[in-house]
């Protein structure tokens, strides 16, 4: 009797190829089926970038797919297992009785001029809006009420798990992934006697939504995790906590703040 279907995604590093080959043999020996199209569990081998790719490959199956990360380099925020722990990983997976762990995702809707239906995306980490060569001007609405007029290089909207990624580099706060909220951070805003914004990150609850209305222009650049959208008719982008969540298999708990400390501070 099979225990489930597993898909394995890996990056191009030699160590990841080796880990993929070994993990495949261990899973088959433990009566799992390797199924790259319709899995119950998705294993990414590499780093957080590989995990992001695996998530988007199977984001249409979030209602029944669980994810698991193996890192072959530096410690990642989505990769709990190391490549020298594969035997323990398979054993743990076979006897996994831990309560399910899931994290919030960002629902992104891009509205275009002269189009009725917005384009819908899910983000695991963040979405950003920038302008290529000129100052970006945008009206920021929270729950359909004007909050501020932004002028600057751009805006970043992130999930709690994405708060340690690009969000942190632009001065955003680090959020614990169990907090069901999202965050808006400014990218090089203009603040002087004439132009004013809040100038600090904003944490927005799961009962609220954010809409950013853009001046009409052809040079906006939108990123959603590792993907890029360029379109000359973008009217607005709306954000909220998604109904879907990302679920983890054989989750091995590591204290989140210890992981933050190890990643950014090191030994004290």
Residues serving a catalytic function are 48
- Say if residue 125 is exposed, middle or buried (CB neighbours under 10 Å; 0-12, 13-18, 19+): buried
Distance CA 163, CA 47 (A): 17
């Amino acid at each position: 009797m099979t225990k489930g279907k597993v898909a394995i995604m890996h990056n191009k590093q030699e160590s990841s190829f080796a880990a993929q080959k070994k993990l495949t043999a261990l899973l088959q020996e433990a009566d799992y089926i390797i199924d790259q199209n319709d899995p119950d569990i998705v294993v990414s081998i590499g780093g957080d970038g590989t995990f992001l790719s695996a998530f988007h490959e199977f984001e249409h199956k979030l209602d029944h797919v669980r994810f698991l990360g193996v890192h072959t380099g530096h410690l990642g925020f989505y990769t709990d297992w190391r490549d020298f722990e594969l035997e323990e990983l398979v054993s743990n997976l076979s006897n996994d009785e831990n309560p399910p762990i899931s994290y919030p995702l960002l629902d992104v809707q891009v509205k275009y001029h002269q189009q009725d239906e917005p384009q819908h995306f899910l983000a695991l980490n963040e979405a950003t809006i920038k302008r290529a060569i000129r100052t970006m001007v945008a009206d920021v609405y929270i729950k359909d009420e004007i909050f501020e007029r932004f002028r600057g290089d751009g805006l970043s909207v992130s999930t709690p798990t994405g708060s340690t990624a690009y969000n942190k580099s632009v001065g955003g706060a680090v959020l614990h992934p169990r907090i069901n909220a999202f965050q808006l951070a400014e990218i090089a805003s203009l603040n002087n006697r004439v132009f004013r914004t809040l100038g600090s990150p904003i944490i927005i609850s799961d009962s609220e939504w954010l809409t950013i209305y853009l001046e009409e222009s052809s040079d906006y650049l939108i990123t959603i995790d590792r993907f890029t959208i360029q379109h000359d008719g973008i009217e607005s982008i709306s954000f909220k906590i998604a109904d879907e969540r990302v679920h983890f298999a054989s989750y091995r708990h590591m204290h989140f703040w210890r992981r933050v400390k190890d990643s950014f501070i090191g030994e004290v």
